[in-house]
A and B are shown apart, each in its own frame.
Chain A
Amino acid sequence: MNPIRTRADSPWGRGVGLRVGGLSWRVSPRALVVAVVFAVVAVVVSVVSIGGGDYPMSFGEVVRALAGRGDASTDFIVNQLRLPRAVTALAVGAALGLAGALFQSLSRNPLGSPDLLGFTQGSATGVLVATVLAGGSGLGLAVGAVTGGVLTGVLIVLLVGRNGAHGQRLVLVGVGVAAILTGVNGYLLTKAQITDAARAVLWLTGSLDGRDWKQATPVLVMLAIAVAVTASCGRALRTIELGDEGARALGVPVDRVRGALLAVAVLLASLAAAAAGPVSFVALTAPQLARRLTRSSGPNALPAACLGAALLAAADLAGQRLVPGHQLPVGVVTGLLGGGYLIWLLTTERKAGRL
């Protein structure tokens, strides 16, 4: 039996018609507020993060420098040294949040995220192959990550098959592929030189150390494309969440929409991995938190992206400041936070009978 869940809609959470001339949209004020609030949080945290380090600056100084009105030395430190890292954090966080929202919506499962479905492991395999074969230069790692992630995506789609592309099978195939790749990764790690292995493990944990515009730009470009695609498919996606047959009956081209969104999500996840390594759990947690905050069941793409950016920026800040004298890679922080969140999610979802 399927329990039917209803949610007491407050006028606050419900969609509101927005009409301009002959055009009309439905927007949820609550979702919009959540998105804006977390976008602001993300920016503020980034500014604080830029202000920290060996050469501390006040909040005001950083803002002035960002606006191009600081003195020469702060301008250099802010805009040349620290801004790229902060922007990478925001872009990677937003990309992971959005990718996670899409994966969870497509798999109809709160745990469907690129880290659990094998895409991240595929990126890691690409990186390890690059490390073992080429010793692992910066560019090699990035190319390996994207190639590995995309190939894994193609493999999973082929294995799931055209007519079986519904949620459950996607999840199971993804879990299987993830397990296989984890084994392969372990093997590759034993084949590498110990110094290369240590570097690969650092990358595998996810880190933002020393990132600059070269890493941030591809993610930003992909993010723009992804937002456009998601916006145009959002309504269809919401319908697909109700089930393939129902969506087809409503005239949604289910396979095409799913294919397009899956491609976008895979590219987002792989480019994010190429930029910062497979930062764990952001893609899992951001959409879940977004769903709880907006109290709406849809994909919540925009709030999830903003939350992801805020989460990653905050985790990076925490990694820099938490242990004095040590810089923890951002992946360790998100891993620890995510692990705790995961246990909480598993227990509450189970109590609510949803898991």
Chain B
Amino acid sequence: MTFTFVRRFALAAVLLAAVAALSLAVGARPLGPPEVWRGLTDPGTDAYTVVHQMRLPRTLLGLVVGAALGLAGALMQSLTRNPLGDPGLLGINVGAAAAVVTGISFLGVTSFAGYVWLAFAGAGVVAVLLYGIGGGRGATPARLALAGAAVNAALYAYVSAVELLDTASLDRMRFWTVGSLAAAQTSTVQKVTPFVLVGVVLALALARPLNALAMGDDTARALGARPALVRGAGIVAVTLLCGAATAACGPIVFLGLMVPHLVRAVVGPDLRLLLPYSALAAPVLMLVADVLGRVVARPSEVQVGVLTVVLGGPFFLYFVRRRKAAAL
């Protein structure tokens, strides 16, 4: 038991390191392994500039945002007891995006710190709204997914209306609303990491009570857990994670859906394992998608948000088709 745990954890960590190294090496100017090493350590070289100016912040941001989104997805699926709970699909990320767009266009917000707080506000409002819909008795996955789609549609309509009235902002926002790591800067990573860290700690602390909650509210209460308190804390964690991730690189869909399902297939439904592994596995996928995006359409790039959708969407459809109607 402990042996498999150590082995799996080591495997995940090695995989993560490998993908991170790949993310440092691949790009408009490919670097070989020795060059990457020199780029990391030797300030005199060109490689150093490339790595430190562009690829390192981008890779770090991918790690942080990926972990945040994977964890948020696992949390959301467990909070709503719903296999389709994905913060992107349910509109939480777009909620954050809508708040940021409002800030850019109407309030003249230009600083990243401003984005972050707006994103928290937007994500929080949508999370509470969805919790109201999805936490109730008799809420089926299909209903929650639809409610999320409705929220998504309404907010997209709003975002495009704002873009329409403000062409100057459109140029900036149309790249941001797709979800991209390309503009990553060290300062972004520094500002977003503390929020994600708090979210991660909170999420991991909730693993045990969420395990109790997974068996139904009555059972959870009978076991001495407090469902309302746990859900409240869970929503705070989701808000922190999604808000920070969205502020840093725009709304990204399907990563939070896909990763927990893949992880669950390996480690089972115990959240004490599922949450940390999701936080490890999601950045792997995120960086793979980002690296792919740099390669597939050379010389231009495909945004990571587009690739997670293209990779994750079919997964979602496969998942829906595979499950029996009764189970959904």
Contact = CB atoms under 8 A, between A and B. Distances in A.
A and B touching (Cβ–Cβ under 8 A): yes
Interface of A: 109, 111-112, 115-116, 159, 161, 164, 166-169, 171-173, 175-180, 182-184, 186-187, 189-190, 194, 197-198, 201-202, 204-205, 280-281, 284, 329, 331-332, 335-336, 338-339, 342-343, 346-347, 350, 353, 355
Contacts of B308: 183
B132 A179 contact: no
Contacts of B303: 186-187, 190
Interface string B299-328: 000110110111001101100110001001
Nearest to B139: A355
B316 A168 contact: no
A284 B146 CA distance: 12
A178 B133 contact: no
Contacts of A171: 142, 145-146
B306 A183 contact: yes
Contact of A112 (B141, B146, B152, B254): B146
Given A109-B146, A190-B303, A342-B154, A205 B254 contact: no
A108 to B, nearest CB: 10
Contacts of B139: 355
Contacts of B88: 179
B290 to A, nearest CB: 14
Given A197-B174, A353-B137, A175 B149 contact: yes
Contact of A111 (B129, B147, B174, B325): B147
B143 interface: yes
B160 interface: yes
Contact of B313 (A176, A342, A350): A176
Q: Which 9 A-B pairs have the closest CB atoms?
A: A183-B309, A180-B313, A335-B157, A186-B178, A339-B154, A111-B146, A187-B306, A172-B320, A176-B316
B305 A186 contact: yes
Nearest to A111: B146
B253 A187 contact: no
B328 A179 contact: no
A179 B170 contact: no
B253 A172 contact: no
Given A180-B309, A205-B157, A175 B145 contact: yes
A84 to B, nearest CB: 23
A158 B317 CA distance: 12
Nearest to B151: A342
Given A171-B146, A201-B163, A336-B158, 11 more contacts: A111-B143, A111-B150, A159-B317, A159-B321, A171-B142, A173-B321, A176-B316, A179-B89, A183-B313, A187-B178, A189-B174
Interface in B229-282: 253-254
B317 A176 contact: yes
A179 B313 contact: yes
B193 interface: no
A282 to B, nearest CB: 12
A204 B317 contact: no
B133 A182 contact: no
B309 A332 contact: no
B133, B137, B254, B309, most chain A CB atoms within 10 A:
B309
**Secondary structure dominating the interface of B:** helix
Interface in B210-238: none
24 contacts: A116-B146, A116-B149, A166-B325, A168-B140, A172-B142, A175-B89, A179-B88, A179-B253, A179-B309, A182-B156, A184-B306, A184-B309, A186-B177, A190-B178, A190-B303, A197-B174, A198-B164, A204-B160, A205-B157, A339-B154, A342-B151, A347-B132, A350-B132, A355-B147
B136 interface: yes
B160 A205 contact: yes
A300 to B, nearest CB: 20
Given A172-B84, A183-B310, A280-B157, A332 B164 contact: yes
A338 B152 CA distance: 13
Contacts of A338: 154, 157
A179 B136 CA distance: 24
A59 to B, nearest CB: 31
Nearest to A207: B164
B136, B139, B253, B321, most chain A CB atoms within 10 A:
B321
A198 B170 CA distance: 8
A272 to B, nearest CB: 16
Contacts of A201: 160, 163-164, 170
B153 interface: yes
Nearest to A202: B164
B150 A355 contact: no
A342 to B, nearest CB: 5
A95 B155 CA distance: 24
B305 A190 contact: no
Contacts of B153: 115-116, 178, 280-281
B254 A173 contact: no
Contact of A186 (B141, B150, B157, B306): B306
A19 B203 CA distance: 67
Nearest to A340: B154
B45 interface: no
A339 B306 CA distance: 26
B132 A169 contact: no
A179 B161 contact: no
A190 B175 contact: yes
B138 interface: yes
Given A168-B140, A169-B320, A182 B152 contact: yes
Given A161-B321, A172-B145, A201-B170, A183 B158 contact: no
